[in-house]
Amino acid sequence: MKKVCFIVAMQGEAKPLIRHFGLHHIEGCFGSLPPQAYRASYAGKEIFLVTNGIEQETGLDYIGCEAAVLSAHLAVSSFSPDLIINAGTAGGFVSKGAEIGDVYLSNKYVVFHDRRVPIPGWDKMGQGYLPCVDPLNIISEINAKSGVCTSGSSLDITGDDLEQMKQTGGEVKDMEAGAVAWVASLYNIPLLCVKAITDLVDAGHSTPEQFNDNFLLATQRLDDVCFRLIDEKLVDKL
């Protein structure tokens, strides 16, 4: 695992990683496209980080699958990493034992929960079932849980989404992992998702409020795990 590339949706999630690894911005790396790239040599590795970038009009981070596909594709075609780490925040479920600030490593496969295509073949393609590395070798050494990551295009959740999550076993809900996993699978590059829980979807509280209240705590935990993956060379055991 000589070259490791973090794909991170939001600048707020990426900032502590940029600082810790001493990453420097590669000015104009992707021309006028929104994703931004950073790099450094660190602890015997080449570390890259690509963020989704910011929408000019609103000044907000691009989130969601379209932006994540673009970031992941540009990252892979520019840097050919040996491992992709999709780091970010996510919603968890009390019913699955999640607590605010928990960090999950992706396990088994990565799926989507808001694609409804009830035609044999396309139903499975819609849900994804995309590969990710087995985290079980390192999970006991790191303060994290493991679970099936599932992605969709909305922050909220509907009954139909829940129904699909029941079918796929999805446990950790975000808006990018599936997209990054799809690109990683096309290039056959190992993928690990690291997701910190900002909100509990089934706790009866507003998701946007929980997201804003817990964003700092969750990103601190997320970054701690990401630092350890590199500093303690845990990625080499994947």
Residues 6+ positions from 59 with CB-CB distance below 8 Å: none
- The binding track of 10-29 with respect to ligand SAH, each residue x by CB under 6 A or -, is x-------------------
Taking the complex as a whole, the smallest distance from the CB of residue 176 to ligand SAH amounts, in Å, to 5
173 binds ligand SAH per the rule CB under 6 A: yes
Applying CB under 6 A, the span of 38-46, 74-82, 131-139, 167-175 interacting with ligand SAH comes to 167-175
Residue 199 in the binding site for ligand SAH (CB under 6 A): yes
Nearer of residues 135 and 152 to ligand SAH, judged by Cβ: 152
CA neighbours closer than 13 Å in the CB half-sphere of residue 17: 36
Residue among 64 and 135 whose Cβ is closer to ligand SAH: 64
**Closer residue to ligand SAH in complex, CB, 144/234:** 144
- Is 13 an active-site residue? yes
The 3-class SS string of the chain reads CCEEEEEECCHHHHHHHHHHCCCEECCCCCCCCCCEEEEEEECCEEEEEEECCECCCCCCECCCHHHHHHHHHHHHHHHCCCEEEEEEEEEECHHHCCCCCCEEEEEEEEEECCCCCCCCCHHHHHHCCEECCCCHHHHCCCCCEEEEEEECCCCCCCHHHHHHHHHHCCCEEECCHHHHHHHHHHHCCCEEEEEEEEEECCCCCCHHHHHHHHHHHHHHHHHHHHHHHHHCCHHHHC
Q: Near ligand SAH by CB under 6 A, which window of 93-101, 118-126, 127-135, 206-214?
A: 206-214
- Among 42-50, 98-106, 123-131, 201-209, the segment contacting ligand SAH (CB under 6 A): 201-209
Answer yes or no whether residue 174 interacts with ligand SAH by CB under 6 A: yes
63 binds ligand SAH (CB under 6 A): yes
Minimum distance between the CB of residue 208 and ligand SAH, rounded to whole angstroms?
Answer: 6
Q: Is 141 a catalytic residue?
A: no
**Among all residues, which ones are annotated catalytic?**
13, 199
Residues that bind ligand SAH (CB under 6 A): 9-10, 60, 63, 88-91, 155, 173-176, 198-199, 201, 207-208, 211
